[in-house]
Amino acid sequence: MTNAITINNQDLTLRQYKGQMVITFKDIDLVHNRPQGTASRNFRRNRQHFIEGEDYFKICPDEIRRHKIMSISPKVREDIVFITESGYLMLVKSFTDDLSWEVQRQLVKTYFRYKEQFSVSESKQAKEYEYFDKTYNGEPVLTTADIEHITSIKQATIAWWFRQKAEAVKDYYYLEKLELQKFKNENPRLPRLSKQLYAITRSGFVKFCKAYGINMEEPKCFEQKEQPKISAVHRIYDTFCKHYNIKRYQLTEDMAKILKCGENGIVNESCILRKTDNDEYKIFTDPTMPLLERQFTLTENLGRIMAGQLRENANPDINYDQEARLFGIVVMAMSLFFDK
């Protein structure tokens, strides 16, 4: 048995919590050859003498699974008590037969002194598994290894449940060959992978936990991130771009040299406005401009388009520069009001 020692011909699984070796009531009854329930009864009778956090820990099922203290059924909902060395010595004071004295000596000298070796083994296991956020096509996902680490349910069981009970694409992605390589490229921190992998979505994880009676907080990778607020200027700009068939581009130095030589457009140092033969407008702006200046330049050029400055029948009596500037000022003022 892995991570176990033998006391009184009984295999006792090693358990550690918060840096201390701990033991269950069932373990105590087993190695002392006592009827099941003896240790827990003694604990309840003398509960007032035991200090939580020093003599015992009361741990919820989710934390037991998360820290892999022991394997428990997914249906377990009640907290479980684990006894420390000091709690054990207090608990077995009434066990005075020869066998009990020998068992106490073995437990204290071997089990409760196994902390150092156990910690090394635990550290090695921790290095073998490392959690980090993963995505598939930009969507947050978990692997079966992640879910095993969170719930202590074996990967084989997890994979079986998703194959039999879950909906592909919605609840999980079954990845192999090219799709698996794509997943690896998207998540370069992944260790060497097998030939197949299940990428579990948020809906799949929620359904799995519900099916196995697991009540726990949703992993942070699935938390809904607040979408950045879109300013009123951008909303107005997007609306006009769709209506007037306007395309926006970043203005590079090389592009500026070429565009400034063209016709049928408006040119200045930080922005160039062009109209194509098929009535499509293109606005090229310098990405290094300060945000407010760039926003005003965009709205100013929208004003030129709306006023018809680039049309063949443009009115020479209209001061288009003034009209465009006025439009830009009005839009910027409106955006300040709506963005409050």
DSSP structure string for 108-168: IIIITT-HHHHHHHHHHHHHH-----EEETTEEEEEHHHHHHHH---HHHHHHHHHHHSPB
* The pLDDT value given to residue 286: 74
Last residue of one domain, picked from the residues 189, 222, 255: 222
* The pLDDT value given to residue 244: 77
Helix residue ranges, H only, 77-114: 85-91, 98-106
Domain that includes residue 37, residue range: 4-125
Task: Tell me: do 174 and 274 sit in the same domain.
Answer: no
CA 133 to chain centre: 5
Question: Which one, of 274, 275, 270, lies nearest residue 252 by Cα?
Answer: 270
* The pLDDT value given to residue 126: 45
**Residue 33, Cβ neighbours under 10 Å: how many?**
14
Report if residue 192 sits inside a domain: yes
Provide the residue-wise pLDDT of the chain in tens; the chain has 340 residues: 347 788 888 888 888 888 788 999 999 999 998 999 999 999 999 989 898 888 899 988 888 887 778 888 777 888 899 999 888 988 888 788 888 888 888 888 778 777 555 554 444 444 466 788 999 888 899 999 899 888 878 787 888 889 888 988 889 998 888 888 888 888 888 877 677 889 999 999 999 988 888 887 788 888 765 555 556 667 777 787 777 788 877 766 666 665 555 555 666 666 777 777 777 888 877 766 777 787 788 888 888 888 887 777 778 888 888 888 888 888 888 776 665 5
Task: Tell me: do 278 and 329 sit in the same domain.
Answer: yes
Task: Tell me: do 247 and 271 sit in the same domain.
Answer: yes
Task: Tell me: do 214 and 238 sit in the same domain.
Answer: no
Report if residue 227 sits inside a domain: no
Indicate the pTM of the whole model.
0.38
Report if residue 88 sits inside a domain: yes
Report if residue 242 sits inside a domain: yes
Task: Tell me: do 170 and 252 sit in the same domain.
Answer: no
The sheet carrying 271-275 orders its strands as 246-250, 281-285, 271-275, 265-267
Say if CB 7 and CB 1 are below 8 A apart: no
Task: Tell me: do 331 and 245 sit in the same domain.
Answer: yes
Report if residue 67 sits inside a domain: yes
* The pLDDT value given to residue 1: 35
Task: Tell me: do 273 and 319 sit in the same domain.
Answer: yes
Task: Tell me: do 33 and 99 sit in the same domain.
Answer: yes
Q: How many domains does the chain have?
A: 3
Report if residue 91 sits inside a domain: yes
Last residue of one domain, picked from the residues 172, 195, 222: 222
Last residue of one domain, picked from the residues 163, 198, 222: 222
Task: Tell me: do 152 and 80 sit in the same domain.
Answer: no
Task: Tell me: do 147 and 205 sit in the same domain.
Answer: yes
Task: Tell me: do 120 and 45 sit in the same domain.
Answer: yes
* The pLDDT value given to residue 73: 79
Report if residue 275 sits inside a domain: yes
Question: Which one, of 16, 19, 5, 23, lies nearest residue 86 by Cα?
Answer: 23
Report if residue 214 sits inside a domain: yes
Task: Tell me: do 307 and 258 sit in the same domain.
Answer: yes
